[in-house]
Amino acid sequence: MKHVQKGAEPLEFSYWKALANDDWQPTYDDLSGQTKKTVKDTLMKEQGYLCCYCECQIDDDDSHIEHFRPQSHADVDPLDFSNFLCSCQNQLQKGVPRHCGNLKGSWYDSTLLVSPFDSGCEERFIFTGLGFIEPKQQEDRGANETIKRLGLDLPKLNSMRASVIEPFLDDTLSTAELQRFVMGYLQKDSDGRFGEFWSAIRYLFGDVVTV
């Protein structure tokens, strides 16, 4: 899970909410068209086009706006941009069972769900060269429950991570070549995208570079 640094909500979204009047109050169900697209584009951009939970690469066709704290909760403002993330829409990925936001659904526990908004979230998980994800501390109930509730250890996801990790394990790479490879991967590309499963690569190989 990669830390998500939240930015300001897009002005178009602010203007749309400001249209509220005695006859109409904006709701999340009303959010549509270009305004919704602008919100979603902003979320994907601030996440480097990675799913907020599993770090699969996402685009507009295979993602959805995720309320970290479920909008069904009475104390949650469904239009609070600071609670918005963008999660993969994994039913469109062939052979991948439900996970991330679709599996989480309306479940939320502030003590057990690790938040991508937390700057320390990356340090609570470790990865193996075979693509497995584990809590850094086995007694960390939150990390354990987050992996379970979001399906972050599904066999298909583990396999996808392993495929991304494998090229970095090439023993023909010199130290300098590995350094360039890792450094390039951990930086956004020209389109503002991070490499898929960024946290796994950083954990396994980040010590060869300064990021």
Report the DSSP beta bridge partners of residue 21: 24
Q: Indicate the SS3 state at residue 85.
A: strand
Stretch 2-28: mean pLDDT: 96
% of the chain with per-residue pLDDT over 70? 97
Closest CA to 101 of 48, 39, 146: 146
Map out the domains of the chain as residue ranges: 11-208
Query: Using CB atoms within 10 A of its CB, is residue 206 exposed (0-12), middle (13-18) or buried (19+)?
Result: middle
**Residue 179 half-sphere exposure toward CB, CA atoms < 13 A:** 6
Model pLDDT, residue 110: 94
Residue 209: band (very low, low, confident or very high) from pLDDT cuts 50, 70, 90: confident
∠ Cα 102 108 111 (to 5°): 135
Model pLDDT, residue 97: 82
To the nearest 10 degrees (0 to 180), the angle between helices 175-186 and 198-205 is 150
Model pLDDT, residue 109: 96
Mean pLDDT for all residues in the chain: 94
Residue 49 has pLDDT above 60, yes or no: yes
Scored b (16 or more CB within 10 A) or e, 110-136 reads: eeebbbbeeeebbebbbbeeebbbbbe
Closest CA to 104 of 116, 120, 94, 121: 116
Closest CA to 113 of 142, 72, 133: 142
Read off the pLDDT of residues 57-116 as tens digits, 9 standing for 90 and up: 999 988 999 999 999 898 999 999 999 999 998 764 556 788 999 999 999 999 999 999
Stretch 2-29: mean pLDDT: 96
Residue 155 has pLDDT above 60, yes or no: yes
Q: Greater confidence, 91 or 179?
A: 179
Instruction: Give CA separation, 143 vs 14, 48, 84, in Å.
Output: 34, 23, 21
Model pLDDT, residue 91: 60
- Flag whether the pTM goes above 0.85: yes
Residue 211: band (very low, low, confident or very high) from pLDDT cuts 50, 70, 90: very low
